[in-house]
Amino acid sequence: MSEITTVLTEFSKTFNTYLEQCFPLPQGAEKRVIEAMKYSVMNGGKRLRPFLMCECAALFGVKHDVSFPAAAALEMLHSYSLIHDDLPAMDNDDLRRGKPTCHKQFDEATAILAGDGLLTYAFQFLSNALEIRPEIRLTLVQLLSDAAGAFGGMVAGQTLDLYATPTGNKAADEDIIARLEAMKTGRLLRYAVEAGAVLGQAPLDVRQTLVKYSRLIGQAFQIADDILDREGEQHIVGKTLHKDDSQNKFTYVAYYGIEPARQKAQDLIKSAIAELQTFGPEADNLRALAQYIIDRKY
């Protein structure tokens, strides 16, 4: 195991303990939806977004008792997006994180409700997080709703993913690929990093530097995901592979080919690490995470 994998695994253990107790089960039949929410959230995610947020916050001395509530809200929202993405009406997948998807484990109606429940709970949880000062909480709620929503956020990105088709015009197609990534995958990764800076009340220029880092790793993350779809091993990746080709998806890999895509991802990571030059060893985990994002096998 590389050092960053060990660090990430240790982080995940502590974070998962925190996250699990966010889902107390009620008594009545309505507990089914909470069970489905908990099933999907506690289903073995890598916790990259929480880790990014907590590491960025830690650069400014913010401890886990303050960053965990915000990170938990983000992971809830991320898990909602995965549940809905897996639904028959969207990506129609049976496997997620190596286990049956929410609608396979429960049923479609429960999975829709579990996604709705997690999206709502993310904001409920964040806005009630008394560990975070009220004005910072409000900023986080604003930034998270921007990142997740239909106006340039993740919902807009998912819409492009479902409905955009190649135009045949190089510039127009490159623009679609870039916007798709920036919104569908990039916005939540950017939020993770930016929220860490906001929690730490970082100066604006430092916050902007971290946002640049997040955009570069976001692009590389998406390319790595597309490469895994082509070349990964299904039992390790934990989801159905080769879907991008079969569904004629608009990806960087499909457009440029696998080797140029791999090179592009490596260049992006080099630039991301260069963005962190003003930080000392306290940003070493962020540097290592950038490389992990393209080296990962799942």
The DSSP call for residue 28 is S
The Cα–Cα gap between 142 and 157 comes to 18
- Residue 19 or 154 having the CB closest to ligand GRG: 154
Among 158, 209, 214, 251, binds ligand GRG (CB under 6 A): 158
Which residue number places its CB atom closest to ligand GRG?
45
Cβ atoms of 85 and 249 within 8 Å: the answer is no
Q: Which residue, 105 or 222, has its beta carbon nearer to ligand GRG? A: 222
81 binds ligand GRG (CB under 6 A): yes
Per-residue x/- track, 235-274, ligand GRG (CB under 6 A): ----------------------------------------
When the beta carbons of 45 and 196 are compared against ligand GRG, the nearer one is: 45
Q: Which residues in 170-209 contact ligand GRG (CB under 6 A)?
A: 184-185
**For residues 101 and 185, which CB has a smaller minimum distance to ligand GRG in the complex?**
185
- Distance in Å, CB of 224 to ligand GRG, minimum: 9
**What is the distance between the alpha carbons of residues 81 and 86, in angstroms, rounded to a whole number?**
9
Which C-beta is closer to ligand GRG: that of 118 or that of 197?
Answer: 118
Q: Does 225 bind ligand GRG (CB under 6 A)?
A: yes
Does 74 help bind ligand GRG (rule: CB under 6 A)?
no
Smallest separation, CB 204 to ligand GRG (Å)? 28
Rule CB under 6 A: say whether 93 interacts with ligand GRG: no
Shorter beta-carbon distance to ligand GRG: residue 154 or 268: 154
Q: How many CB atoms lie within 10 A of CB 281?
A: 7
- Residue that has been written with the tokens 């995901």 in this structure: 225
Answer yes or no whether residue 42 interacts with ligand GRG by CB under 6 A: no
User: In the chain, where do the E strands start and end?
Assistant: 95-96, 99-100
Binding of ligand GRG at residue 38 (CB under 6 A)? no
Output the CA–CA distances (angstroms, integers) from residue 131 to 136, 137, 178, 203, in the order listed: 10, 9, 37, 21
CA distance 263 to 213: 18
Sole binder of ligand GRG in the list 37, 53, 68, 84 (CB under 6 A): 84
Gyration radius (Cα) of the chain, Å? 18
Return d(Cα 33, Cα 112) in angstroms, integer. Answer: 9
**Inter-axis angle of helices 170-184 and 204-231, nearest 10:** 110
Query: Would you say 69 and 129 are in contact if contact means Cβ atoms under 8 Å apart?
Result: yes
Instruction: Please list the residues that pair with 99 across neighbouring strands.
Output: 96
Is 78 in contact with 86 (CB distance < 8 Å)? no
Please report how close the Cβ of residue 88 comes to ligand GRG at its closest, in angstroms.
13
Q: How many helices and strands in the chain, by DSSP H and E?
A: 16, 2
Binding of ligand GRG at residue 155 (CB under 6 A)? yes
Selected range binding ligand GRG among 5-13, 98-106, 154-162, 195-203, rule: CB under 6 A: 154-162
CA distance 146 to 140: 10
C-alpha 127/C-alpha 58 separation (Å) is 21
Contacts of ligand GRG in 94-123 (CB under 6 A):
97
Total binding residues for ligand GRG by CB under 6 A?
Answer: 15
Could you list the residues that contact ligand GRG (CB under 6 A)? 45-46, 48, 81-82, 84-85, 97, 154-155, 158, 184-185, 222, 225
